[in-house]
Structure 1
Amino acid sequence: MKKFGLLLAGGIAALILISNIGPLIGLAVSMVVLYFIFKQFLKTDSTAKKIAWGIFGLFILMATASNVPAILAIAAAYVLYLVYKKWNDEKNTYKSDDPFVNFEKQWDELKKN
């Protein structure tokens, strides 16, 4: 039952990620452009150029903000990561150095035989 829940959560997360791949790419591109604009803004000494870079940066910032659905894609990618991590997670409760836990492990093995 646990695997079915993980499969269902992973499938829904994959569908959300695939459906929001466009805004995710748009967000990545606009963030890279915004980074370069910021670097150019810091390099320039002219006030007119700073104003121009600031206005251009404001337009790119608005384009970046229009890709808000990309946040859903990032969350879906994180859920996929968690599902992948939990899928192969084996519960080994006998890894403790506690002698009583090791006794329980040995007792379980004796009961199986």
Structure 2
Amino acid sequence: MKKFLLFIAGLVALTVLLANLGPMILLGVSVWLLYVVFKQFMKTDSTAGKIGWVVLGLIILSVAVSNIYAVLGLAAAYGLYLIYKSWTSKKESVVVESDDPFTNFERQWADLHK
């Protein structure tokens, strides 16, 4: 049952990721453009040039804010990663605790040296 629920959660996360792939790409491009505009703003010495770069930066910032749904796509990608990790994780063997102190000591010593 756990594998089935993980499969359904994976399908939902994949659907959300694919639905938000466009905004994710546009958000990445707009953040990169904001970086370029900031670098050009810092290089410019004239006041008119700085005003122009600020206006362009505000326009690009509005594009970036409009693609805020890309955060849902990033969360879905992280969810897919967690689902994949739990799907492929190996089952831990259950160790039966005994009253013998040397058995527990040897197990703990082996755990320390892994």
Fold agreement, TM-score > 0.5: yes
1:111 equivalent in structure 2: none
C-alpha deviation, 1:81, in angstroms? 0.6
2:55 equivalent in structure 1: 55
1:99 equivalent in structure 2: 103
Q: Give the counterpart letter for 2:28 in structure 1.
A: A
Q: Distance in 2 between matches of 1:4 and 1:39?
A: 50
1:110 equivalent in structure 2: none
1:41 equivalent in structure 2: 41
Unaligned 5+ segments in structure 1 are: 103-113
2:15 equivalent in structure 1: 15
Residues paired across the two proteins, number: 100
Q: Give the counterpart letter for 2:88 in structure 1.
A: N
**RMSD in angstroms over aligned alpha carbons?**
2.0
- How many percent of aligned residue pairs carry the same amino acid? 50
2:73 equivalent in structure 1: 73
C-alpha deviation, 1:94, in angstroms? 6.2
Q: Distance in 2 between matches of 1:85 and 1:9?
A: 13
**SS at 1:45 equivalent:** coil
C-alpha deviation, 1:93, in angstroms? 4.6
TM-score of the pair, normalised by structure 1: 0.80
C-alpha deviation, 1:91, in angstroms? 2.8
Q: Distance in 2 between matches of 1:6 and 1:59?
A: 41
TM-score of the pair, normalised by structure 2: 0.79
Deviations 1:25-81 (A, max 9, x none): 111111111110011111112121111101100000000000011111010000001
Unaligned 5+ segments in structure 2 are: 96-101, 108-114
